[in-house]
């Protein structure tokens, strides 16, 4: 059975989900370099009449979506499958983020200047100890799309089934 109508619904669903996820990322300020948002994508694969929809993203996209528990406290992301145990996030990545956000200089509680290298270390240690709050950028986008998906999918499947039945009956 050909699945052109269902494939079209999957294409629309994939594009809408990725666009919504990018919008949520940008609205939350979680797309500092733009790399995560531009890495998001999808593809629909058809093999022997079976449709498969896969979403793609940077390797750390799932961590940004689900957050991470800290080694000292799990309060920010209690249900996350990720947890910092004995290693901190890489300081090079945090340093680039600090520069992009314009946090290159800071002051402590007593008004003393804190060097960027110290600031980066403190941020990395804070992430290790207390974790990262989940953004749910992809989870929310997927759930939003799934609300309308069943009806559209059923209609498309019915059209494909109807065309298949008409084709089979013509051949008989």
In the predicted model, is pLDDT for residue 111 greater than 90? no
Number of neighbours of residue 32 by Cβ within 10 angstroms: 15
Token duo for residue 17: 């989900």
The pairs formed by 159-166 with CB atoms below 8 angstroms and a separation of 24 or more are 159/5, 160/1, 160/2, 160/3, 160/4, 160/5, 160/6, 161/1, 163/2, 163/5, 164/1, 164/2
* Weakest mean pLDDT among 47-51, 113-117, 122-126: 47-51
Buried b (16+ CB within 10 A) or exposed e, 71-80: beebebbeeb
Structure confidence by residue, pLDDT tens digits, 136-168? 999 999 999 888 877 777 787 777 777 777 777
In the predicted model, is pLDDT for residue 71 greater than 90? yes
Rounded to whole angstroms, the Cα distance separating 47 from 62 reads 27
Name the β-bridge partners of 41: 56
What's residue 172's pLDDT?
Answer: 62
- What pTM was estimated for this model as a whole? 0.81
Per-residue CA distances from 116 to 65, 79, 132, 160 (Å): 27, 32, 21, 60
Structure confidence by residue, pLDDT tens digits, 17-26? 999 999 999 9
Q: What is the average pLDDT score of the chain?
A: 87
| pLDDT band at residue 6 under the 50/70/90 scheme | confident
| pLDDT band at residue 1 under the 50/70/90 scheme | low
What's residue 110's pLDDT?
Answer: 87
What's residue 51's pLDDT?
Answer: 81
């Amino acid at each position: 059975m050909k699945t052109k109508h269902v494939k079209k619904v999957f294409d629309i669903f994939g594009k809408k989900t990725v666009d919504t996820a990018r919008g949520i990322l940008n609205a939350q300020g979680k797309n500092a370099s733009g790399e995560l948002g531009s890495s998001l994508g999808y593809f629909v694969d058809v093999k022997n009449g079976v449709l498969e929809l896969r979403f793609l993203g940077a390797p750390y996209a799932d961590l940004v979506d689900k957050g991470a528990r800290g080694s000292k406290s799990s309060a920010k992301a209690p249900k996350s499958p990720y947890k910092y145990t004995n290693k901190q996030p890489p300081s090079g990545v945090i340093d680039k983020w600090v520069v992009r956000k314009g946090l290159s200089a800071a002051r402590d509680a007593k008004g003393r200047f804190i060097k960027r290298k110290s600031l980066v270390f403190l941020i990395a240690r804070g992430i290790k100890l207390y974790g990262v709050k989940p953004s749910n950028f992809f989870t929310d986008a997927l759930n939003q799309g799934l609300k309308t998906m069943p009806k559209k999918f059923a209609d498309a499947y019915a059209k494909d089934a109807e065309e298949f039945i008409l084709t089979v009956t013509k051949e008989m």
